[in-house]
Amino acid sequence: MSDLIFDVTEATFQAEVLERSKSVPVLVDFWADWCGPCHALAPVLERAVERHGGEVVLARLDVDQNQRLAMAFQVQGIPAVKAFAGGRLVDEFVGAQPAAVVERFVEALLPSDADRAAAAAADLDPAQAAARWREVLEQDPDNLAARTGLADLALREGRPAEAIELLRPVETDPEVAVLLASARLAAEAADPTSRFATAAAQASDGQADPALATLLDAVREGPGEPRDKARGLMLDVFRLLGDDHPLTTTYRRALTRALF
C-alpha cells in the first residue's frame, strides 16, 4: 500500500474518499478476498493509478467487512469500481476489465489541458488571469474552472451581473452554487429599485439573520412576484451559510411553513 493505493473502511470512507475527492479523483475498488475477478482487476487498477503519478488515487474496500457501505452504493456484483470527484460519485463500472478500458476510465477523470491551463491562471495577476481564462473559453466554452475564475473576478470587482452571465451555462453544477448565490445577492443589493436591496446587502455582509427575517416576512405576505423573489434570495442565503448552519435549519423550516 502507498499514498496512492490504500484500504478504506466505513469509519474512514468520509475522510479518505468523499473529502479527499474534492482535491483529487478517488477510485474505490469494492472487492472481496474470495472473488477471483477482483484479484485479476486489482493489479490493472494499481498500474493505471501509478502511471498517473498522483493525479488519481485508489481506495480498496472489502465488501465483506463493510457491508453497509456496499449496500449504500448498491453494489450488486464485484469487482465494482466507483469514481468520486468533488465529493460525489461521478462514474463507475462492474467486472474485471482489460487494461485499455481501465486506462480510458481513469483518463476521463483527469483534468484536460484546458482545465490545467485554467487552474494555472489562478496564480497570475488579475489581468493576466482574465486573459488566460478567456483563451480557455474560446477552446472549451463550458470549462468550469475558467468560467468560475472569471465570474469570481467580476464579482470581486463589483460586476455581479457579469458574474451571473458567466456562470449561466454551468449554473446547475454544484461547484458554482455558492459563487452564483453570492453574485445574485450582490446584484440584488446593487439594484436601487429592489425592495430587497437592503436584505441582500446584509446577507452579503454576513448579517444573515436580519436578512432572512425580512425575506421571510415577504414570503408570508402571499403569492406573487415579491414572494417568489424573496424565496429565491432566501435559498441563496442558505447556500452561503451551508446546510448545517443553525440559521439555515431554522429559516428553512419557517420557509416551508410559510409556503405550504
Q: What's the CATH number where 15 sits?
A: 3.40.30.10
Among residues 187, 216, 237, the one where a domain terminates is: 187
Same domain, 81 and 163: no
Same domain, 139 and 96: no
Same domain, 164 and 236: no
Among residues 92, 107, 122, the one where a domain terminates is: 107
Task: List the pLDDT tens digit at each of the 260 positions of the chain.
Answer: 568 999 999 999 999 999 999 889 999 999 999 999 999 999 999 999 999 888 999 999 999 999 999 999 999 999 999 999 988 999 999 999 999 999 999 999 988 778 888 888 888 889 999 999 999 999 889 888 899 999 999 999 999 999 999 999 999 988 899 999 999 999 999 999 999 999 999 999 999 999 999 999 999 998 999 999 999 999 999 999 999 999 999 999 999 999 98
Among residues 166, 187, 208, the one where a domain terminates is: 187
Cα–Cα distance for residue pair 32/67, rounded to 1 Å = 11
Same domain, 160 and 183: yes
Place of cell 472473488: 35
Same domain, 152 and 236: no
2 is catalytic: no
Same domain, 129 and 174: yes
Same domain, 33 and 118: no
User: 8, 27, 28, 35: which is the annotated catalytic residue?
Assistant: 35
Cα–Cα distance for residue pair 78/65, rounded to 1 Å = 14
pLDDT digits (tens, 9 = 90+) for 15-63: 999 999 988 999 999 999 999 999 999 999 999 999 988 899 999 999 9
38 is catalytic: yes
Looking at the structure of the chain, the number of domains it has is 3
The pLDDT of residue 246 is 97
Q: What is the pTM of this model?
A: 0.70
Query: 36 is in which domain, residue-wise?
Result: 5-107
**What's the grid cell of residue 123?**
496564480
The pLDDT of residue 181 is 97
User: 26, 38, 44, 234: which is the annotated catalytic residue?
Assistant: 38
Same domain, 103 and 30: yes
Same domain, 161 and 115: yes
Same domain, 209 and 180: no
The pLDDT of residue 1 is 57
Same domain, 181 and 243: no
